Chain A
């Protein structure tokens, strides 16, 4: 789960990581009142959307005059921001973070994430703050420092010293060493206690008055651990999620919307991806990823159908089920019932393999519905592509 910058900064503050004084703002009136109260030498008005690249897209405004804050807020609120991470449709700005600006002496990069291979959390730091770390890693890998933390003992002072000396902090600002080493410990505590999967501070700045401050903040939370933190439920922003994906989640389905025109429904995540790939190989584009899970039932299949049909780009449906514990004839029943219920008018190809596949195919063939049953994966993929028409990617704008 991703959270907004202002929420990340609230977490930082709770864990003793210094952040600018700021507040989440949703209305112009609130912006005006807060600016008057804040009374800062510089005001920063930042659009709050779940995507990076906001600065370049015009989503961050600065002013020295508090009276201008409401006008800047007006410019951003309700505007659709397109960054390199939002896709061409962009994201509508519904919230702002208005905070005190900082006098910047030096920008650093700092993040904490999990190294999948070793299974250890690892700090990544660089003197090239404000830039994308992937860019720094590509151009000057020697400027990207890594410090793995042994989870058996947790963060130690030497981990902090390794990074502080590695970054050359004594030369930059010797008084910052202590606070920096303490701050890393606090970040590690936040990472473990709140089950973060990523914390990124870019930039982490040394201010002109020689203080450390997290000017930006990105925190992702491990979805598997949300049950441990009911408080995160309130931080979820449904506006940042695709409506069909919310509906899928509510039905215990795993759905990701894509841009193609063949809707697919599959049991199992790996097979679902492979099915998308085979559609592409057959000459078309998948409209989505949809995993109905190992325990697929009539109900989940029906919910899957409803979601696929709500995507107006979908011109054909490909169902690929490998029956293991799930029996194919049960899936066939589900397909038939829901096809009757929703009166499907577009081509549907169902490929059944595994447990009771033969029975399932027979049911489909005898159903009187215009559903093509198939056994061979490649044949089935070619069939749905032929019935749907090739390469009609992005034929119309998505309804939202």
Chain B
């Protein structure tokens, strides 16, 4: 088991003929993902590594029964692409694009609210179920099927954590990058709930950072509803207030969103908070060891 995606997931890549789109579509396919279609308006009839290209998502859905979309469309057109996928009946949309205007996402998030569709991202590395299905830009080889679920607002920092889990032999079930933007499709809470129900996931690593109050919301939920061990890491204890640290959403404003505060709230909710980036894997290992045998 895993959450959201597995070897049966049928993937469409929007923006497949672009440089990023074609490279990553090929990489995902090589990982074993069923990449069944691509969309670039005006390029129907072409193929990318044997993947048929369509003009519209509607056509792609009709011809290939794809159910999940991976988006590499440039920022100015990404909102359109997400809405097109939702309208064509795609159930899971993974948007990699960085730099989408926030107000575009305001409209998109509102439009998706009443639909039976889930958006992951934008500005994220994607989602991967180890050894089954990679829908994103993460390096596949660091993942290994195993016991830990990973949820993160970051990219390379997630790879760092995953690599530690794999090296220690723990492995992962599903890893999701939820995105570094202020407005994202899916937050920690929904995914924590899914991991709690997934029989193969024994613990969850959640990687947060400064800015917003998503970790605080997650903490409240964990306190109430999560029984499995949760290992938390928050990046940005040294980040100054009022400055955007790379990610559009990583900014301390009006004294809110500080790392120390988030760590304290998570700890209060029973999350095992790691201070040292290098010890995320080790902490997960300790949490999964039977009592007294550490």
**What is A's interface to B at a CB cutoff of 8 Å?**
85, 114, 116-117, 119-121, 133-134, 150-152, 192, 195, 197, 222-225, 227-228, 254, 256, 258, 266-281, 285-286, 289, 291, 294, 322-325, 353-355, 376-378, 381
Q: Are A151 and B107 in contact (CB under 8 A)?
A: yes
Interface assignment of B171: CB less than 8 Å from any CB of chain A: no
Q: Which residue of B lies closest to A379 (CB)?
A: B278
Q: Which of B109, B141, B157, B240 has the most CB of A within 10 A?
A: B157
B283 to chain A, nearest CB (A): 13
- Would you mind naming 22 contact pairs between A and B with Cβ atoms under 8 Å apart? A117-B187, A117-B214, A120-B110, A152-B110, A222-B103, A224-B100, A256-B243, A256-B245, A268-B154, A269-B180, A270-B154, A270-B180, A271-B157, A273-B246, A274-B277, A277-B275, A278-B278, A289-B243, A289-B245, A323-B139, A355-B139, A376-B278
CA gap between A222 and B182 in the complex, in Å? 11
Which of A119, A269, A377 is within 8 Å of B245, CB to CB? A269
Residue B199 CB within 8 A of the other chain? no
- Assess the B236–A273 pair: CB atoms within 8 A: yes
Mask of B242-256 contacts with A, CB within 8 angstroms, 1/0 = 111111111000110
C-alpha spacing A268/B139, complex, angstroms: 14
Contact A322 B101 (CB under 8 A): no
Indicate which residue in A192, A269, A324, A325 contacts B103 across the interface (CB closer than 8 Å): A192
8 Å CB contact of B110 from A151, A227, A228, A270: A151
A322 to B138, CA, bound (A): 11
Which residues of chain A come closer than 8 Å to B137, judged between CB atoms?
A: 294, 324-325
Which of A150, A195, A269, A354 counts the most B-chain CB atoms under 10 A from its CB?
Answer: A269
Inter-subunit contact B250/A273 (CB<8 Å): yes
| Selected contact of A281 from candidates B158, B245, B276, CB within 8 Å | B276
Chain A min CB distance to B120 (Å): 15
Q: Does B160 contact A (CB under 8 A)?
A: yes
B239 near A289: Cβ-Cβ < 8 Å: yes
Q: Are B156 and A270 in contact (CB under 8 A)?
A: yes
CA distance A377 to B164 in the complex (A): 11
Indicate whether B153 reaches chain A with its CB closer than 8 angstroms: yes
CB contact under 8 A between A270 and B152, given known A276-B239, A278-B278, A354-B139: yes
Whether the pair A85, B156 counts as a contact (CB closer than 8 A) is no
Q: What is the bound-complex CA distance between A355 and B142, given in angstroms? A: 9
Checking B105, B111, B160, B250 against A353 with a beta-carbon cut-off of 8 angstroms, the contacting residue is B160
Residues of B within 8 A of A256 (CB): 240, 243-245
Known contacts A114-B183, A281-B275, A324-B137; A228/B207 CB under 8 A: no
CA–CA, A280 and B237, complex, Å: 9
Establish whether residues A275 and B277, one from each chain, have CB atoms under 8 Å apart when the complex forms.
yes
Q: State the total of A-B contacts with C-beta under 8 angstroms.
A: 176
Contact A274 B182 (CB under 8 A): no
What CA separation (Å) do A117 and B240 show in the bound complex?
A: 23
Residues of B within 8 A of A (CB): 23, 75-76, 99-107, 109-111, 137-139, 141-142, 152-160, 163, 180, 182-183, 187, 207, 209-210, 212-214, 217, 233, 235-240, 242-250, 254-255, 259, 275-279
Interchain CB contact under 8 A, B235 and A270: yes
- Across the interface, name the chain B residue whose C-beta is closest to A118: B109
Nearest-Cβ distance from residue A211 to partner chain B, whole angstroms: 29
A278–B86 alpha-carbon span in the complex (Å): 41
Q: CB distance B255 to A134 under 8 Å? A: yes
Judge whether B155 and A270 touch: CB under 8 Å.
yes
Chain B residues with CB under 8 A of A271: 154-157, 160, 235, 277
The CA-CA distance from A269 to B235 in the complex, in Å, is: 10
Residues of chain A within 8 A (CB-CB) of B139 are 323-325, 354-355
Chain A residue with Cβ nearest B23: A325
- In the complex, how many angstroms separate the beta carbon of B256 from the nearest chain A beta carbon? 8
Chain A positions within 8 Å of B277 at CB level: 271, 274-275, 277-278, 377
Task: Give the residues in chain B near A274, CB-CB below 8 Å.
Answer: 157, 160, 233, 235, 277
Name the distance in Å between B109's Cβ and chain A's nearest Cβ: 4
Q: Which 5 residue pairs of A and B lie closest in terms of their CB atoms, listed nearest first? A: A270-B154, A269-B246, A268-B156, A270-B157, A378-B278
Contact of B247 with A228 in the complex, beta carbons under 8 Å: no
With a cutoff of 8 Å between Cβ atoms, the chain B residues found around residue A192 in the complex are 103
Which chain B residue lies CB-closest to A290? B246
Q: Is the CB of B102 within 8 A of A197?
A: yes
Task: Give Cα A325–Cα B156 distance, bound, in whole angstroms.
Answer: 10
Q: Give the shortest distance, in Å, between A251 (CB) and chain B (any CB).
A: 15
Question: In the complex, A322 Cα to B154 Cα: how many Å?
Answer: 13
In the assembled complex, which residues on chain A have CB atoms less than 8 Å from the CB atom of B107?
151
Q: Which B residues lie within 8 Å of A280 (CB)?
A: 237-238
A224 near B99 with CB under 8 A, answer yes
* CB closest chain-B residue, reference A194: B103
Smallest CB–CB gap between A34 and chain B, Å? 32
Least CB separation from B104: chain A residue: A225
How long is the Cα–Cα vector from A289 to B245 in the complex, in angstroms?
7
Residues of A within 8 A of B102 (CB): 114, 195, 197, 222, 224-225
A136 to chain B, nearest CB (A): 11
Assuming A291-B246, A322-B159, what are 15 further A-B pairs, CB within 8 angstroms?
A152-B110, A227-B76, A256-B245, A269-B245, A270-B156, A271-B154, A274-B277, A276-B236, A276-B238, A277-B236, A294-B155, A324-B155, A325-B23, A355-B139, A377-B278
Q: Is there contact, CB below 8 Å, between A224 and B246?
A: no
Assess A324 versus B214: contact at CB under 8 Å? Given A192-B103, A269-B180. no
The interface residues of chain B lying within 8 Å CB-to-CB of A322 are 156, 159-160, 163
**Of the residues B159, B246, B254, contact of A134 by C-beta under 8 Å:** B254
A325 contacts which chain B residues (CB < 8 A)? 23, 137, 139
What separation, in Å, do the CA atoms of A17 and B217 have in the docked complex? 36
- Residues in A with CB closer than 8 Å to B183 are 114, 116, 119
CA distance A224 to B76 in the complex (A): 9
B277: nearest residue on chain A (CB-CB)?
A274
| Residues of B contacting A119 in the complex (Cβ-Cβ under 8 angstroms) | 105-106, 109-110, 183
B180: chain A residues within 8 A (beta carbon) = 269-270
- Which residue of B has the minimal Cβ distance to A378? B278
**Closest residue of A by beta carbon distance from B249:** A116
Residues of A contacting B210 in the complex (Cβ-Cβ under 8 angstroms): 273
Within the assembled complex, what's the spacing in Å between the Cα atoms of A152 and B83?
14
Nearest CB of chain B from residue A72's CB, rounded to whole Å: 29
Q: A277: which B residues are within 8 A, CB to CB?
A: 235-238, 259, 275, 277
